[in-house]
Structure formats: C-alpha cells, structure tokens
A and B are shown apart, each in its own frame.
Chain A
C-alpha cells in the first residue's frame, strides 16, 4: 500500500506556505505508508544555463564540500553546496548533464535524487512526519510539490526504493500500484539509451514518460500514451517544471481524490490528506475518472 499527494498552487500569494501544506498532506498519508517518504518540491529556480541537483549519501558527515570543489575545478564552474542531513543540494554554473557524467565517473557512491533548474527531491526512511522534519519541508516555498509515503510489500525498505522517481530535468513521478509489463518496457527503454538505477517498476514508468516527453509529447499526450503502453495498476501523479498531472488506469482500483479551489489544486490517495488545506470544506472535490488525463499548467515560474 502507498499514499501519494500533490499540491499545485494557483494563487502566488500561497507560495510561501507550499511546504507547510505539503507536510500536512504527507503526514495525512502515514497510515498508508509508514516505512519511507519522499518529496519533490519546485522552488528556488536557478537561472537558465545553471543547474541544480539533489544528491544523497547515507553518511551524514559525507565530504560534500570537497567533492563540490573537485567538481568545480573539473568543469571550471562555480559550485554551491547546501547540506541537508544525508542530502545535499548542489547548484552549478553549468547544465546538469556534465555534472551527472562527472559524478557517475568519479563518485558512483553518490545517488542523484533529482536534477534540473527548479526541482529538489528528498527521500528517506522513516515516518512521513520525521522525514518532513529532517529536510525542513515546512519552510520550503514554491509553486508545486508532490510526495509519496510507502508501505513496502514487495521490495526492501530502502532510500532507493522510495519515490518520487525522476528521469529527466525537473520531471518527477509518484506511483501507487504495480506494473506487470515493466520487464519488456525496461528493455524497450534501454534500447533508447535509458540507464536504470533500481529494479523498481515505478522507475520504469518515470523513464517511460520521460522518453515520451523527450520525443516531443506534451504532458497530456505522454500520459495518454501510457494508457496504451503501461499494463498494470496505477494512480500516477507527475510533475514537470511547468505542469502537474494525474492519471489512473482503466480499472482504477488504486484510490485518488482531487480537490480544487481558486487558490490550489490538490491530489491525494484519500481525502483526509486534503481536509486540512485552507478552504478544503468548500473545495470542489471529485474522484479522477479511470483512464482520463488531468493536467494543470504553471502560469509563471516560481
């Protein structure tokens, strides 16, 4: 079982409270997923031409600054490092591609949680409340965010098996369900140059959508293609720099609730994660229909 949540702010005045609201939503899904939690928050964008990466190493005393220095020297670019527990947010005056290559070649022990210009990804073991506190989610402002709480049933409770999964610049996916054709899809994606970091079926879904987006599909078209190609049970919430989307499979045995006011759009596995949002009592609340793609676009950047 898992819980997934997503919050997309329509009213820019609410942006300072994004993290605080997402934290409440995430904690609301504790009973559906007490083993680990993960979040992707769209905030603090860096300028075009610069890159931002969220990195993970289990050692909380890891020598991040030294690595930042080596990286800066190798790429001849200025590097900033912000350490948050066992995660580090690295910003650099370069695109993220050479950074990822350099890290893979020189520090394969570092896990890249997310990359792009806006998105930061944190995932860790423990109760959602503890994970949110560890990374100070409550103080993260931004435009939109998604989260996942996991109750492990078919693979170990580890950080790498936690959601969200990222497969492209500023793109992220959370998934409740299981895919049955992930082996074939993994082969199909490997042929198209994707390298997999886990054996998780949700990573396959993330890379599938990234592939469709890289082929030029819109967020909506990418998800619609997934209806045809992904076999299994799923409620997905996907976010990109400029958008937020929800999709359930045709059978729709995995729950999902959407709610919308003039100020925000919220998605959650259950209404109890939405109930505490300001104005929830009078929000339009509905269940996303099976096999229907729902998308929202960010009007202006964070």
Chain B
C-alpha cells in the first residue's frame, strides 16, 4: 500500500501520481492522510484502484471518477463525486452540497447525511444516502436512482426526468412535476439489490417511490413542432 501524507505533499503531487499509474499497475491500494479540507483530492481517477482518505476532504473530492473506488473516512465538502462516470465513492461521514452532481454512472454511498442539492442533474449515477438529504435534491435528475434512508428536504425532484427516487422517511415537499408513484414488487426488488450493493441496511419495502409526472414542456408532444 502507498501512503501519501498531504501534510508533506501537495494535492497536485498526489493526483499526478494517481493519474500516472498504468492500467496494469501493481500499486492498487492507496491511503491519503491529512486531507484538511483541500480541494479536488483524488479527482479524475481513470483505473480500478482503491484510494482511502482519512479525514475531511474539501470540495470536488473524487470528481469525475472512473472505475476507481474512493473511500472517505470523514465528512466531505461540496461536489463530492461530481460527474462520476463509474466505480464507487463511499463517504463514512456526511457530504456537503451537490454530492454526485451530474453523475453519469457508478455508485455513490453517503453513510451519513447529504447536504443541499444532492444528485442535482444526475444522469445515471446511483446514490444511496444512509441519513437525510437537504432541499432541492435530485433537481432536474435525468436518470439513475437516489435512495434516501432518512428524510428529504423541500422541493425534492423538481423538474425531474427519468431518475427514480426512493425515500424512507418524510419528504418536506415535492418539487414541480415530481409525484409519488406506486412501489411495485419490481421496484422493491430493484431497490433491495441497490441497498445490498451499498452495504446500507434498510428494508426496501418501507420506502416510497417518487418520479416524474411528465407534465412539463419537454414531455408535451405538441412542442415537438418547435424543432
């Protein structure tokens, strides 16, 4: 295992080393110490390595992640795993605003709470939150699943497209065009698989499902004439 102490090395040095690894590298397990709120730690990883961060990283940690597994033993600043493509990012603490924003794939697990706008404009990523999420989560969410074991803040799923939202606790309010939908056995099975993958223990049957009512402009066939 390689250990990089950010008290002695810059984030740029760390990221350069991680980006410089070849696909067949033997250096597959990395530990990062003293993140101390620094930005963009372990962003832009491209190969299936494992990076574990001890402490609280700052903004954009594990952004754009592809294939790698990033584990954060602490809380995370804004935009963790933003635009993630694949792989897995796991936060043992809480995440700040815009966790998993615009994510296209992979699995983001937040064992604690997520802040505001969790999963904003998500495009295929699966996000599982052990605690609660803040307001405007899944805003304009296009695809993928957002699972919230606790409560959701106001305006959940505003202007949502095809993403699926599962919330176990209470929802302060639903955003524009977001409605509660039937939780069929098909959805329970899908959610159960996702929960198992995330390692978060919860009973899939206790969740409610929310999604798009498909009433906004883009869903009206009449508007096709505009193009």
Contact = CB atoms under 8 A, between A and B. Distances in A.
A281 B33 CA distance: 12
A290 interface: yes
A270 B37 contact: yes
B210 interface: no
Interface string B107-121: 000000001100000
Interface residues of B, number: 18
Nearest to B55: A281
A189 interface: no
Interface string B26-46: 000000000011110000000
A289 B115 CA distance: 9
Nearest to A268: B37
Interface stretch (A62-70, A152-160, A190-198, A272-280): A272-280
A271 B116 contact: no
Contacts of A287: 94, 96-97, 115
A290 B55 contact: no
Contacts of B38: 272
A285 B55 CA distance: 12
B58 interface: yes
A271 B94 contact: no
B135 interface: yes
Contact of A271 (B77, B97, B135): B77
Contacts of A28: 37
A252 B98 CA distance: 12
B36 A272 contact: yes
A276 B58 CA distance: 14
A270 B40 CA distance: 14
Interface in A254-302: 255, 257, 270-276, 281, 285-287, 289-290
B36 A275 contact: yes
